[in-house]
Amino acid sequence: MSNRPFAITLKPGTSLANLTGTWRTARPVYLHRLPPCNNACPAGENIQGWLFHAESGDYEQAWRILVENNPLPAVMGRVCYHPCEGACNRGQLDSSVGINSVERFLGDEAIKQGWKFDAPAAATGKRVLIVGAGPSGLSAAYHLTRMGHYVEIHEAGPLAGGMMRFGIPKYRLPREVLDAEVQRILDLGVTLKLNTRIENIEQSMKAGSFDAAFLAVGAHIAKRTYIPSGDAAHIVDAVSVLRSMEGEDKPMLGRRVVVYGGGNTAIDVARTAKRLGATEAIIVYRRTREKMPAHDFEVEEALQEGVMIKWLSTIKQAEEGSLTVERMELDEHGVPQPTGEFETMEADSLVLALGQDVDLSLLEGVDGLEIVNGTVQVSSNMMTGHPGIFAGGDMVPSERTVTVAVGHGKKAARHIDAYLCDTLYKPAPKHELAEYNKLNPWYYSDADKTVRPMLDVIRRQTSFDEVQGGLNETNALFEARRCLSCGNCFECDNCYGVCPDNAVIKLGPGKGFQFNYDYCKGCGLCVTECPCGAITMVPEET
């Protein structure tokens, strides 16, 4: 072997970093990937961003990052069905991060500490009318006010909150929590007019000199079905039952209550009936459990509390004190078919939980609107066919959850702001997804998800105390630290430590790293050893 040193002759103005010889065909590059939790959040929260501050114990900063997108974290920490956790990469390692638990902790901590939103931007002089003080309307009001616009909410009901108040029982969402987060939004300067029903949106906009409107009316009208019944049969709808729980006079359902339906509202009503003293609360559903639209954990909680569910059954007739129920069976395609086999059930009341519709009477006579299957059609910017009138939440085709509604409010606010400023809002392009196979989870030890405490079953059956508890500071901190920081560097120094060429340069705390390509041979060891997938190899230019 020759002892002569290896030498490369460079052309003037050329550095080693520009060479593409066989010794380096690709180079490492730092990048940001989109965490799957962020990608799955209907409210568009920067989940990884606020978890980063929570895991360092800076809870107020974590809360401030959180409320940049969602002004109702204490509410959402209780009622969101957390699709973010279903997408969490940690679920493939041991169990997903308890994102919803930490969100609730931050929301409760903000109420406890009295944290307030940052002051709004300078007033623009523009006026926006919002119809409905539910999650979508409140979210839009929050974001528009922070942008400097004057916002006025007209709410037909006696209290703000919409279906959060009149559709979600207190055992899931304590009213003091809802009231605190609503008040914080109003404290920004939002005007709320209760018991104010909009009869015609165009007339109301003209009368109030509003430059734009956001329609966020909730689905408060119960769907009905024809059930032959005697005059004395006690048949009520689920929406009315849950709504009456906000008043002083509680609904009289009797000792034997049957609920007809299979959604989350049916579950809520049955669990409410047990708390009101029903000895039997039975849900009748025409399909199987696998097809039930209610979330599985809510079904489990209801069963624990003594609610019974009669699967593959449909109600054919109601009389005073009894119901006639027909058994169904699945055909070869899995579709329920009647069998002609009937039974009689004793029942003091029948509650119909078959879905809800939105009252669209305020839109009568408005030009350009398109309504399909009881929902208002909107374009990608959330605007209806009538210029200046936007819509979201239950009013548009979408999944009807609080989280989706909050996301609609934020999205609409951004497009309304652009409309008022005669510009177009263009969201930043999304980064590529940080998939599990991009990570190196070898560096993480097993740490199972913290389970939130539950109220004992006896108290759950006899009171409206909150069923699910929250995390304390110790286990909230632990849970936040389970985050893998998918796709984004958290400065663990792995790349710096494993590089055999000393090609990684530390830029200082919070500034990350960069590569010195004059030293880098392109071995890719840094990519292999990066825990969070924040480095990739790109082909060298030829």
pLDDT for residue 444: 79
> At 322, is the secondary structure helix, strand, or coil?
strand
Check if the beta carbon of residue 65 is closer than 8 Å to that of residue 46.
yes
pLDDT for 323 equals 95
Supply 506's token pair: 């530390």
Name the pairing type of β-strands 535-539 and 26-30. Answer: antiparallel
C-alpha distances out from residue 387 to 145, 239, 298, 360, Å: 21, 33, 41, 18
Output the 3-class SS for 132-153.
CCCHHHHHHHHHHHHCCCEEEE
* Cα–Cα distance for residue pair 286/219, rounded to 1 Å: 23
In DSSP notation, 413-445 reads HHHHHHHHTT----PPPPPPB--GGGS-GGG--
Q: 452 is written with which tokens?
A: 């939130």
Of the candidates 178, 197, 210, the residue with the CA atom closest to the CA atom of residue 77? 178
**Is 194:157 a contact under the CB 8 Å cutoff?**
yes
Q: Whole-prediction pTM value?
A: 0.91
Tell me, what's the pLDDT at 22? 54
pLDDT at residue 185, rounded to an integer: 98
Name beta bridge partners: 256.
280
Name the stretches of the chain with pLDDT < 70.
Answer: 1-22, 542
Going along the chain from its start, the domains and CATH numbers come out as 16-32+489-539 (3.30.70.20), 36-115+441-479 (1.10.1060.10), 127-221+357-420 (3.50.50.60), 224-356 (3.50.50.60)
Provide the pLDDT for residue 3. 41
CA–CA distance, 412 with 419 (Å, rounded to integer) = 10
User: What's the pLDDT score for residue 415?
Assistant: 98
Residues 6+ away with beta carbon under 8 Å from 468: 78, 172, 452, 453, 454, 455
Question: Residue 57: CA atoms inside 13 Å, Cβ hemisphere, count?
Answer: 2
